[in-house]
Amino acid sequence: MADLPPPTLRLHIDRDALAHNWRALDRLSGQARAGAAVKADCYGLGVATCVPVLRDIGCRDFFVAHWSEVPAVLAHVPPEQIAVLHGVSEQSEAQYARATGVRPVIDSVAQARLWSEAGGGPCHLMVDTGINRLGIRPDEASDPSIQALSVEVLMSHLACADEDSDSNASQLAGFRSVVEQVAHRETSLANSAGVALGSDFAFDLTRPGLALYGGIPRPELADTIRQVAFPQAKIIQVRQIEAGECVGYNATFTAPRAMRIGVVSLGYADGILRSWGGGYFEAHSERLPILGKVSMDMIVVDLSGARAIGEGEWVDLPYHLPDAARQTSLSQYELLTVLGRRFG
């Protein structure tokens, strides 16, 4: 079989920046240690790329959402270092957890009963202190099924840590009230933004996600966190258009003059959504404005002021997450996790 040609789009992952970010968050966690949320394929940047970096610099707590995400992480770290946030909702999940040694995060009294009926064993326990997603209510902590659990990490999740909200202190107080009621080995509350809230929120283990991968959820982290993901694509065609000609679907851009344009091998199927319209690419320190609508597989850019850039050139999409979020009105989380699978 013939060799597959090289891709015309690629996602450069700065492993040194990833390592730097984890070390910084671990340091900011004070007496606590930093774990890592590696769900959604490490927020879209790749388990096979990111988890070995995190493992090799000392991370030993890895969190995924779905059981389907376990095998990819299990290829790199021991099962007891992996926790599944969605817990066990049916017997097959409990049996898988017991067979592999991966820790379920018990999220309800019903899950606690199911886990014990399956044979039980070490697990984590989520307490809902105000986000109203998964987790037992604080007043359920005394339930016999909860008290029977072998809880390694007692945890909760902050709803508004990226804001200066009264709910942060309220959730902290609520979590502390449950800590006294459930036997456990360790406690965990802070996500990426929670790390920046200070030592009161750190407990024994922090669970950063977004900030590991270059996101900046609070201004206190702006000078600390480095960009990790750098999307790039090739210009696959250069062409000339005349004044009055239109570009792209629905003819939303009309050339005001004769223009040299380039077609970039990237589109909304790769996670570069139409909200990028009005933005720009970069090459050789030149800005290349996006013209018209983003297509599924192509974006047209203005090359009028960049005569040296031609077909086959790689161009960069500026992806400093706070700046990109302001430009596109997408959240930093979305910007990472929507990145597609066609990047080389």
314, 271 contact by CB (below 8 A) = no
Q: Is the pLDDT of residue 38 over 90?
A: yes
Structure confidence by residue, pLDDT tens digits, 166-209: 999 999 999 999 999 999 999 999 999 999 999 999 999 999 99
Tell me: pLDDT of 344 over 90.
Answer: no
Spatial distance between the Cα atoms of 32 and 204, rounded to a whole number of angstroms: 4
pLDDT tens-digit map of 122-145? 999 999 999 999 999 999 999 999
H or E segment at 49? Answer: helix 47-56
pLDDT of residue 1: 87
Does the structure show a pLDDT above 90 at 91? yes
* Token representation of residue 194: 């929670």
Name which of 61, 51, 22 is nearest 185 in CA terms.
61
Predicted confidence at residue 308, as pLDDT, reads 87
CATH ID of 229-318, from 2.40.37.10, 2.60.40.1120, 2.40.420.20, 3.30.2290.10: 2.40.37.10
Question: Cα 131–185–90 angle (5° rounding)?
Answer: 55
Q: What is the mean pLDDT of residues 26-49?
A: 97
Mean pLDDT of the residues in the chain: 97
Query: Which part of the chain is CATH 3.20.20.10?
Result: 14-217
Reported CATH class of domain 14-217: alpha beta
Question: Is this structure's pTM higher than 0.85?
Answer: yes
Task: Give residue 69's pLDDT.
Answer: 98
8 Å CB contact between 102 and 124: no
CA-CA distance, 300 to 259, in Å (whole number)? Answer: 12
Q: In whole angstroms, how far apart are CA 272 and each of 233, 281, 324?
A: 11, 12, 11
Is 61:33 a contact under the CB 8 Å cutoff? yes
Active site (catalytic) residues: 39, 249
The pLDDT score that the predictor gives to residue 337 is 96
